[in-house]
Amino acid sequence: MKVFNHVGNWNLKELTTENVNGKRYYSVDSTKLPSITTVTGTFPEKVKGLKAWRKRVGNKEANKIQRKAAAKGTAVHNMIEKYLNNDLSLKFADPLAIESFRKVQPVLDNYIDDIFAQEVALWSSHLKVAGRVDCVGHFDGKPSIIDFKTSRKPKKREWIQDYFMQACGYAIMWEERTLVPIDSLVIIISPTEGNPQVFIDHRDNWTKPLLGQIEYFYQRVLERDNE
């Protein structure tokens, strides 16, 4: 069994969350900041794709698939978190979730080394967003934001723009909170069909798209909510 080394003491405070109009917000002092996942989830291309998919399979089937996917995704995330914390108690997990975890386990073993933080709340006064990052640590020797995803089928890079924007947001939030810059963004996907996928990019490639999406969220999405 590989033992992961946890390093650093960042003194990051916990944040409470609440849902408003179906959107998650984090309470930071007296301010409510939208979740980065909520913000990137309104990315127009993603919304358009989801609408087309729902129309194709029907709302009832789409809701069923999304519920199952959400439950599986949560289970896999929990297993990865425990594994990176050097805890192997997976015996009560769902068999399909265990299968997805086993697919990415070699990636975790071979590429992740020192871990700075897991599942910690972050926020940015500059971006006016908050969120909970999956993992911050060394991936293939580089300090990285590491995000874990599950999927029914393998993804193409052009389909995961919202994932990279989300990871970019975490990188900016991390630097603002800790003064430690991180440039590498790593998205690890465990699809039900096929092998695990690892997508890597540089934070600077996604800063401008992220800022545009945040502006879109505040000026278009929230404006519609207030109408």
Q: Which range of residues forms the domain containing residue 173?
A: 16-225
CA distances from 15 to 28, 33, 93, 172, 222 (A): 7, 11, 27, 18, 22
Percent with pLDDT over 70 in the chain: 94
Which of these, 75, 174, 87, lies nearest to 129 by C-alpha position?
Answer: 174
User: Is 166 inside a domain boundary?
Assistant: yes
Tens-place pLDDT, residues 68-107: 777 778 888 989 999 999 987 766 567 778 888 999 999 9
Q: Which residues make Cβ contacts (< 8 Å) with residue 211, sequence separation at least 6?
A: 127
User: Is 75 inside a domain boundary?
Assistant: yes
Give residue 126's identity as a one-letter amino acid code: H
Give residue 105's identity as a one-letter amino acid code: Q
pLDDT of residue 126: 94
Structurally, the chain folds into a number of domains equal to 1
User: Is 49 inside a domain boundary?
Assistant: yes
Task: Report the CATH number that the domain containing residue 88 is assigned in CATH.
Answer: 3.90.320
User: Is 5 inside a domain boundary?
Assistant: no
User: Is 148 inside a domain boundary?
Assistant: yes
User: Is 1 inside a domain boundary?
Assistant: no
Q: What is the mean pLDDT of the chain?
A: 89
d(CA 73, CA 213): 24
User: Is 6 inside a domain boundary?
Assistant: no
pLDDT of residue 129: 97
Tens-place pLDDT, residues 150-208: 998 899 999 999 999 999 999 999 999 999 999 999 999 998 888 999 999 999 999 99
User: Is 159 inside a domain boundary?
Assistant: yes
